[in-house]
Chain A
Amino acid sequence: MEAGSLSPTTPAVRASPLAALRRYLGRWGLIAALAALPIYYGIRDLTHGYQAGFVAGHPVIHHDLTQLGFNFAVGLSNGAIWALIAIGYTLVYGIIELINFAHGDVFMIGSFTAVGLWGTLGLGFATGTAGLIGGLLGTLVLTMVVCGVLNVLIERVAYRPLRSAPKLAALITAVGFSFILQNVGLLWRGGSPQSVNDLIGQGKTVFHIFGVPIARGYLLALGVMIPLVFLLSRFISSTRMGRAMRATAQDPEAARLMGINVNQTISLTFLLGGMLAGAAGLIYALYETNIWYFQGFKAGLIAFTAAVMGGIGNVRGAVLGGLIIGVIQALADSRMGPQWTEAVVFGFLIMIMVLRPRGLLGEETREAG
């Protein structure tokens, strides 16, 4: 430990076996740790079997991978929501190195806005399919706009004046805004979780893959996430503004000298992050069919974990991290009990930090040497 920390900026290329072991662990340790849970439970399901239900009072034991597949289906669709939120974290962290604690609460406001808009538009169980799809698409766009603008306003009010202050100051205002948004949510819809209309019938099975039922909710989550992420990565990689974003993330000062409007670029980043959080909020409301003012806080922590796992500053990494965290959560939920899920997720977070601080797809950074 000591030897590596002496020169944190240069990769330690030493002949000592300990360093070699560490490099090896850094490359494969995290992947091994991530693969451990599904492999363990997969083998366990095959050898010991699992209880698939009751027939005439007797437990039915199956010996196959269907339950694992089911966990993956739940996990990936949940992970799609985390991925959308995690992109907001990763973009913002990449560009101004701020853990935007208010981001999870922007997601919560997204859920609330979406549910409010359904009421305004009159979407309900009586609405026809065409009306429902049109209404939901309209809600999606409006929610994204609302959350994007909200995120931009937060940046303008709370982070921009602190751009040159100590980094912790911006962190604290982020937390302050998180509290404020939570209170807005609390005043808006009260202190207890509220159930919302299951507009799309999210639990209805559409088809089976290898015996794993695929519900509408899963398709919705992945069906919204994948196009949005595709559009975003196209935007970042091939438009002028996207290039400005990448340049600013790399070196704000140099970007400014090259004629990039840094403030505008940062606002744009917050706009994009907020829009994706809004989309995630809508999916969450449709998928979980209940909303709560505190949902954003936990979601924020989980999504941030996802962003770190994928490699902070990296959009593809955030998506990958979100999906992986979703699967870990689903596995922990169904195998260990939901009360331990959080501890498992954060345990993985610590393991990432120990084994591979730059994340799965991340670049080596100054701080995570």
Chain B
Amino acid sequence: MSDPPGQPVEELDQNAGRDAPPSGPSGWGELRAQLQEWRAAVDGALPPWWPRAMAVIAIAFAIVLPFFFSLDSDFMNATIIAVAYAVMSLGLNIVVGFAGLLDLGYVAFYALGAYSLGWFGSDFFFKAHIHVLVSKVASTLPGIHLNFILILIAAALICALAGMLIGLPTLRLRGDYIAIVTLAFGEIIAVVAVNGQSVQLGGGMTLTAGNLGISAVDSPYFPGVGMFNELNLRPWYWLILGVMLFVLFVNLRLRDSRLGRAWIALREDEVAAVSMGIPLVRTKLMAYSMGAAFGGMAGAFFGTYFTVVNADQFQFGFSIFILSMVIIGGLGSIWGAVAGGLLLGYINYYLIPHVLNTLPSKFGLNFQLTEIEFGIYGFLLVMMMILRPQGLIPERRRRLELTAKVGVAQSERELAEPSAYDTTGVNE
């Protein structure tokens, strides 16, 4: 929490007491400077392999986590959902964080991912009889039944394609206008999901099952791994953890790749990036399709985990929920996206229900409980943005920008960091 205040100095007249620059006379500023000093000292004292060791420890801890809880505990349920949210948040972070394309229709990819599962992992298309690597029970049922890994790939491909389609009309646009187009696409997909019952595909089969939902979807099946059911959440957890680690790895590699740098360059200055030879159309469409693919994978997982693909899950609020994760974590920051996804997942599925359950039920009736959750959550969003608009774990590059904007060397460590912003150090 020792980062410099996220606001340029000249705008701080409104709240000078709270966010004073470190050099100011206020006690907060001194405390902040002291904390930064300590943190720099600690960072300097740690060996260079420390971050990697921390990552290994964190992964090992994540793998053994279920053994500390019972097979079907509420906490594990919340963890599974939170990890799946982290996957979505990582996907959206590519679009919004890396490429700077504000996407307000991310729910479309949740919907398409979930429907990929509904189409390819249930008896919904009952006229077809296709079975690939599924359990003995599923291979006797009508419909298309693919192995969950194949469904994940299918969901990723379908969503990547849809992401490109959504990206096409936005190529000429910027900023909020992109947000409007993506929002509209998200809403259209949601409407089609609800009304898909009336879209006939022939043979009595429809496109979606609307608000009735495609139920009785297959559970994932892997030979040698335990049963996936609601009484034993551990296999589910390991499955989604594996997906999350895969997506995390891809994200980390992408960020430093040629493509990732092209995204960031486009985000920072489109005209300059294009004149430097970055192919605008391909780079933007890649961002949309990559981000969409990860969203689709998480969507397919949600489909099988909730055992139903229901059209009323695909609300605009969901897009905002995922976007909040990315922004609360820190726009463009991979670890921030993971942290934001986990945090909001836990708040929504564990913390708030838990706290509200222990509180005296002075809020009234039971059916209002979830809606009150949303209000509290809105309040948290507002507070979070006002107190720390740069996010929990800001991206390193953005932190540097903020420092450079203030024009004061907030922290020796950041200026000493080797980066494209060497000029800042020279000027100082």
Residues of A in contact with B (beta carbons under 8 Å apart)? 1-2, 4-9, 93, 97, 99, 157-158, 160-173, 175-180, 182-184, 186-187, 191, 297, 301, 304-305, 308, 339-340, 342-343, 346-347, 349-350, 353-354, 357, 366-369
**20 A-B residue pairs with CB within 8 Å:** A1-B172, A1-B281, A5-B172, A157-B382, A161-B14, A165-B6, A167-B175, A168-B96, A172-B328, A172-B381, A176-B378, A179-B381, A182-B371, A182-B374, A187-B364, A339-B195, A346-B185, A353-B181, A357-B177, A369-B172
Establish whether residues B378 and A161, one from each chain, have CB atoms under 8 Å apart when the complex forms.
no
**B165-205 Cβ-contact flags toward A at 8 Å (1 or 0):** 00001111111110111011101100110110010000000
- In the complex, chain A residues whose CB is within 8 Å of the CB of B372: 183, 186-187
Asked if B11 CB lies within 8 Å of chain A CBs, one says yes
Residue of A nearest to B174 (CB): A367
Establish whether residues B385 and A165, one from each chain, have CB atoms under 8 Å apart when the complex forms.
yes
A8-B172, A369-B173 given; name 20 further pairs at CB < 8 Å. Answer: A4-B172, A5-B281, A99-B176, A161-B15, A165-B389, A172-B323, A172-B324, A172-B385, A173-B385, A182-B375, A187-B363, A305-B184, A308-B177, A308-B180, A339-B194, A354-B169, A366-B174, A367-B176, A368-B173, A368-B174
Known: A176-B378, A180-B379. A191 touches B367 (CB 8 A): yes
Establish whether residues B180 and A175, one from each chain, have CB atoms under 8 Å apart when the complex forms.
no
CA of A298 to CA of B371, assembled, Å = 17
- In the complex, chain A residues whose CB is within 8 Å of the CB of B177: 308, 353, 357, 367-368
Establish whether residues B188 and A1, one from each chain, have CB atoms under 8 Å apart when the complex forms.
no
Shortest A128–chain B CB gap in Å is 38
Establish whether residues B102 and A168, one from each chain, have CB atoms under 8 Å apart when the complex forms.
yes
Establish whether residues A357 and B172, one from each chain, have CB atoms under 8 Å apart when the complex forms.
yes
Shortest B186–chain A CB gap in Å is 9
Interface residues of B in 226-277 (CB under 8 A from A): 270-271, 274-275
Residue of A nearest to B6 (CB): A165
Establish whether residues A170 and B385, one from each chain, have CB atoms under 8 Å apart when the complex forms.
yes
Shortest A178–chain B CB gap in Å is 7
Interface residues of B in 21-56 (CB under 8 A from A): none
Known: A168-B331, A170-B385, A191-B367. A183 touches B188 (CB 8 A): no
Known: A6-B274, A8-B172, A8-B174. A176 touches B379 (CB 8 A): yes
- In the complex, chain B residues whose CB is within 8 Å of the CB of A305: 180, 184
CA of A93 to CA of B180, assembled, Å = 13
Residue of B nearest to A158 (CB): B382
Shortest A357–chain B CB gap in Å is 6
Interface of A, secondary structure class, is helix
Known: A187-B368, A367-B177. A343 touches B191 (CB 8 A): yes
- In the complex, chain B residues whose CB is within 8 Å of the CB of A157: 382
CA of A214 to CA of B364, assembled, Å = 44
Asked if B390 CB lies within 8 Å of chain A CBs, one says yes
Residue of B nearest to A293 (CB): B371
**A-B interface contact total, Cβ < 8 Å:** 176
Establish whether residues A191 and B368, one from each chain, have CB atoms under 8 Å apart when the complex forms.
yes
Shortest B281–chain A CB gap in Å is 6
CA of A108 to CA of B96, assembled, Å = 30
Residue count of chain B within 8 Å CB distance of chain A: 62
Interface residues of B in 114-145 (CB under 8 A from A): none
Q: Which of A6, A97, A99, A180 contacts B378 (CB 8 A)?
A: A180
CA of A278 to CA of B281, assembled, Å = 43
Shortest A292–chain B CB gap in Å is 13
CA of A188 to CA of B71, assembled, Å = 40
Interface centre among B102, B192, B381 (most CB of A within 10 A): B381
Residue of A nearest to B8 (CB): A164
Shortest A74–chain B CB gap in Å is 21
CA of A273 to CA of B243, assembled, Å = 46
Establish whether residues A183 and B378, one from each chain, have CB atoms under 8 Å apart when the complex forms.
yes
CA of A152 to CA of B372, assembled, Å = 24
Establish whether residues A301 and B381, one from each chain, have CB atoms under 8 Å apart when the complex forms.
no
CA of A175 to CA of B320, assembled, Å = 8
Shortest A293–chain B CB gap in Å is 9
Establish whether residues A183 and B375, one from each chain, have CB atoms under 8 Å apart when the complex forms.
yes
- In the complex, chain B residues whose CB is within 8 Å of the CB of A9: 271
Establish whether residues B378 and A175, one from each chain, have CB atoms under 8 Å apart when the complex forms.
yes
Shortest B95–chain A CB gap in Å is 13
CA of A177 to CA of B382, assembled, Å = 7
Establish whether residues A343 and B389, one from each chain, have CB atoms under 8 Å apart when the complex forms.
no
CA of A182 to CA of B315, assembled, Å = 15
Known: A2-B280, A346-B188. A169 touches B176 (CB 8 A): no
Asked if B377 CB lies within 8 Å of chain A CBs, one says yes
Q: Which of B271, B316, B389 contacts A166 (CB 8 A)?
A: B389
Asked if B386 CB lies within 8 Å of chain A CBs, one says yes
Residue of B nearest to A22 (CB): B172
Known: A183-B374, A343-B188. A367 touches B175 (CB 8 A): yes
Shortest B361–chain A CB gap in Å is 14
Establish whether residues A175 and B324, one from each chain, have CB atoms under 8 Å apart when the complex forms.
yes
CA of A2 to CA of B132, assembled, Å = 42
Residue of B nearest to A346 (CB): B184
Shortest B317–chain A CB gap in Å is 8
Q: Which of A7, A179, A301, A340 contacts B374 (CB 8 A)?
A: A179
Residue of A nearest to B376 (CB): A183
Establish whether residues B169 and A350, one from each chain, have CB atoms under 8 Å apart when the complex forms.
yes
- In the complex, chain A residues whose CB is within 8 Å of the CB of B316: 297, 301
Residue of B nearest to A99 (CB): B176
Shortest A297–chain B CB gap in Å is 8
Establish whether residues B375 and A2, one from each chain, have CB atoms under 8 Å apart when the complex forms.
no
CA of A4 to CA of B271, assembled, Å = 12
- In the complex, chain B residues whose CB is within 8 Å of the CB of A176: 377-382, 385
- In the complex, chain B residues whose CB is within 8 Å of the CB of A172: 320, 323-324, 327-328, 381, 385
Known: A175-B324, A182-B375, A183-B371. A5 touches B381 (CB 8 A): no
Shortest B187–chain A CB gap in Å is 5
- In the complex, chain A residues whose CB is within 8 Å of the CB of B6: 165
Asked if B424 CB lies within 8 Å of chain A CBs, one says no
- In the complex, chain B residues whose CB is within 8 Å of the CB of A354: 169
